[in-house]
Chains A and B, each alone.
Chain A
Amino acid sequence: MTQLQSATGPGAEAIARRGATRDARRRRRPRPSAGRVIAWVVLVVILLITIFPFYWMLRTALSSNSALYSNATSLLPVDFTWGGFARVFGLQSTEEAIAAGGSGADMNFWRYLANSVIVATGITVCQVFFSAMAAYAFSRLRWRGRNVVFGIFLLSLMVPLIFTLLPNFLLIRELGLIDTLLGIMLPGLFMAPFAIFFLRQFFLNVPLEVEEAALVDGASKVRVFFSLIIPMSSAPIATVSILTYITAWNDYFWPLMVSYTDRSRVLTVALGAFQAQSPQGGPDWSGLMAATLIAALPMIVLFACFARRIVNSIGFSGIK
């Protein structure tokens, strides 16, 4: 419209400009155009599709197992009860839990949560720290055989975890670390090839001049690593930390192997009690959904807090 007007002559230009500013004002307080409405509708639909599974989990978690099957399509909780959540937090007696379709397993929720936090935090802190050091060595230190060693590290990415399961388990047993949190953490405590690879790529982007300047000023390689490389790579380090934390938090099979009692049982393993316990038996659906929601909560919070960081690091440019 403005283009058309501007084409009619200089006198019309003022009107056009006014029109443009009016347009701009209108854009600030937009009258919903058809396109906008469609865009919003699409957005809302996608949002609903995304949120619906979570709602369905909540709805199932607040239903009682016995009534669930006969009202499978009800959008609202069926025969509303907090029982599912009570079972997750171990607030129901064994008899009550079994009567409500749960398992007879004891739930020591806060203990498992603490164990999970310790394990995930321990693995994240140590793994990221050591992997960053290794990544620095692979990207900035020159030593004989560096690329060969790096190649071997990358190769280990291709070894399926199931191959290392038994050897690792035997080692942990020989070390006397069975049923300890350290035993659960140990295989992931030192390094992860992915983290090394990921961080190495970022460290390679840190300009050599910056590092050389620091070296000329008398900084040691260690100093360079701590005061230059790490601060300059905080975004990718945050990303890799979050990824590591989530992986460690979600890990199921290894903690299942190593933990024997409550003292080292992590949340994911403990929540296995809500799956089907015997063949041909159904799971405790409401307990399972309550458990899944609770277990996912820390991850959701983590994402909510750090989502921008993750996105930022993807567009990380190297120099700011």
Chain B
Amino acid sequence: MESTRGSSAGRRSRRGRRLASAAIAAGLVGVTGCGSATAADSRTTLDYWLWEAQQLPAYEKCVDAFEAEHPDIDVRITQYGWDDYWQKLTAALVAGAGPDVFTNHLTKYPGYVTRDVLLPLDSLEATSDFDGSEFQEGLADLWRGLDGRQYGMPKDFDTIAIFYDERMLADAGMTPEDLEGLTWNPEDGGTFEDVIAHLSVDANGVRGDEEGFDPNNVVTYGLGSNGSGGDGHGQTQWSWLAGATGWTYTDAKVWAEEYNYDDPRVQAAVDWLFGLVEKGFMPPYEQIGSSPDPAQQLGSGTAALSPNGSWTIGSYTELDGVELGVASVPIGPVGHPVSMYNGLGDSISAQTENPEAAAQFVSFLGSDTCQVIVGEQGVVFPARPAGTAAAIEAFRAKGVDVAPFINLVEHQYTVLFPVTTHPADVLSILEPAMDAIYIGSRDASSLTQVNQEINSLFE
């Protein structure tokens, strides 16, 4: 009895299965039918992804201008926030469903180059005449792969400077001029630390350089915090300190196979910075959490000096009740200030079905026309000098003098963002180590061991 029942059930389920598969097939036919109808357009459609929402309007204008020049090409812009962007982009590239052109970052592109998901620009007709000298000094080199080919069209660059509130300075009896020409060294912090101490105020109104300052009950910290910096090589946190000692991340400009985190200079700089926590001059890790917001610290009066990247200028200009000023990072032992110099680029996916159209678009993104449009928006500094000039003008119209960001580039007082293979692995080693130093459970000499771990990635 058991067996007959089993077989009848089997027959029934087989019929069911046939029905089900027919239903699914019908559904699929319907869906793919729809899909091909939209694809049967004679125009070429390009997908372009970016993460910076504030720049979206500028790039929409660029796309309009590009489409006017190339009526046969449609560009569709999609924007996702930074975290979502990289998750979606990576998975989409693995699955072969990525965009044709996308905004690329130096922390990510070496990984893409080694996985062969990018097309070199020089292999395509529209971008074959790429000339790196048309961009701000050094930016194009960052996007040259190990094989010497160009994997990104320089888009914009960023540097670090210090934001402050003039009213807070006035309360401390200081003027913006007092922030000019500050010196710093990792031993006693120089005049930079004097200023930070003076701008720190505890709950009783005692300043950091006065008798009786309580470092455990601080209302205003002299220096704002942007976290430990382990997730981005200390770009906004300590790159400008370590760089001002003459230290560089790697010996070779790009594609080095050895990091220099075992250098006593970087370790001294890091120790000095996070030593400020104990002195009550910088917010401790537990106060700012894992997603610090330096603009918020300045706006709320929690911090007086807020070092940050040029791409965040917009977050500062919108702060209410802050008379915004921008100062240069301090002069270090090398005799001048140093900023990290980082650049974004536009890359073409190797999966694009229209590489030539994509190259035409990328070529346009790297042109004066588009970069001036972007510059006029006053959000970032475009990579072409004409675009940079437009941006300086736009920022001036908003009441921000961005000279401290630009001057260091003009004098080449910069340290480049490290471009090496294994970018994600390097940061995954560095981040917990830097966090531990910020928290205070380790000191910067532990970076020697970390450096060994990082360098063993390249063996």
Contact = CB atoms under 8 A, between A and B. Distances in A.
Contacts of A64: 320
A166 B91 contact: yes
B82 A279 contact: yes
A95 B57 CA distance: 8
Interface stretch (A18-26, A174-182, A235-243, A306-314): A174-182
A272 B299 CA distance: 24
Q: How large is the interface on B (under 10, 10 to 19, 20 to 34, 35 or more residues)?
A: 35 or more
Find the residue from B9, B27, B53, B293 having the highest chain A CB count within 10 A. B53
A279 B321 CA distance: 24
A72 B301 CA distance: 10
B55 interface: yes
B42 interface: no
A275 B293 CA distance: 13
B150 to A, nearest CB: 25
B232 A99 contact: no
Given A95-B57, A278-B52, A282-B295, A70 B300 contact: yes
A143 B9 CA distance: 8
Interface string B19-35: 00000000110011001
B301 A70 contact: yes
Given A143-B9, A177-B31, A280 B308 contact: yes
Nearest to A68: B299
A143 B82 contact: no
A272 B97 contact: no
B78 A104 contact: no
Nearest to B34: A180
A225 B83 CA distance: 46
A177 B29 CA distance: 11
Interface in B300-325: 300-301, 308-309, 311-312, 314-315, 318-322
A101 interface: yes
Contacts of A94: 56-57
Contact of A143 (B6, B78, B232, B311): B6
A66 interface: yes
Nearest to B299: A69
B226 A280 contact: yes
Given A141-B9, A143-B9, A277-B52, A98 B97 contact: no
Given A66-B319, A69-B299, A277-B82, A170 B311 contact: no
Nearest to A97: B53
Given A70-B300, A105-B53, A279 B232 contact: yes
B378 to A, nearest CB: 11
Interface stretch (A117-125, A196-204, A252-260, A292-300): A252-260
Contact of A273 (B2, B81, B298, B301): B81
Find the residue from B28, B91, B232 having the highest chain A CB count within 10 A. B91
B51 A69 contact: no
Given A104-B54, A272-B81, A281 B91 contact: no
B320 A173 contact: no
A178 B99 CA distance: 13
Given A177-B31, A272-B80, A282 B55 contact: no
Contact of B315 (A257, A275, A282): A282
Given A182-B31, A280-B312, A282-B295, A260 B78 contact: yes
Contacts of A28: none
Contacts of A103: 53-54, 56, 79, 81
A1 B83 CA distance: 68
Given A95-B57, A256-B84, A176 B31 contact: yes
A259 B94 CA distance: 16
A273 B226 CA distance: 22
Nearest to B295: A282
A133 to B, nearest CB: 10
A69 B83 CA distance: 24
Given A144-B6, A178-B97, A275-B81, A280 B52 contact: no
B296 interface: yes
B294 interface: yes
B289 interface: no
A229 to B, nearest CB: 17
Contact of B318 (A101, A144, A176): A101
Contacts of B239: none
Interface in B25-83: 27-28, 31-32, 35, 47, 51-57, 76, 78-83
A70 B321 contact: yes
A103 B85 CA distance: 15
Nearest to B85: A277
A169 interface: yes
A162 to B, nearest CB: 10
A278 B82 contact: yes
A37 interface: no
A65 interface: yes
A319 B232 CA distance: 61
A98 B57 contact: yes
A186 to B, nearest CB: 10
Contact of B91 (A67, A105, A165): A165
A258 B291 CA distance: 28
Contact of A105 (B27, B56, B95, B232): B56
Interface in B319-333: 319-322
B97 A173 contact: yes
A69 B296 contact: yes
Interface in B235-288: 236
Contact of B32 (A67, A176, A257): A176
Pairs of residues from A and B, 10 with the lowest C-beta to C-beta distance, nearest first: A69-B299, A103-B53, A104-B56, A66-B320, A277-B53, A282-B293, A69-B300, A67-B320, A277-B81, A176-B32
Given A103-B53, A170-B95, 19 more contacts: A66-B318, A69-B298, A70-B320, A98-B53, A98-B54, A98-B57, A103-B54, A103-B81, A104-B54, A104-B56, A105-B56, A144-B6, A169-B91, A173-B95, A257-B88, A275-B83, A277-B51, A280-B236, A281-B312
25 contacts: A69-B296, A69-B299, A70-B322, A79-B320, A100-B318, A103-B54, A103-B56, A104-B57, A105-B79, A144-B6, A169-B91, A169-B95, A173-B96, A177-B31, A180-B35, A272-B84, A273-B53, A275-B81, A277-B53, A278-B312, A279-B232, A280-B293, A280-B308, A281-B311, A282-B296
Interface of A: 64-70, 72, 79, 94-95, 98-101, 103-105, 141-144, 165-166, 169-170, 173, 175-178, 180, 182, 253, 256-257, 260-261, 272-273, 275-282
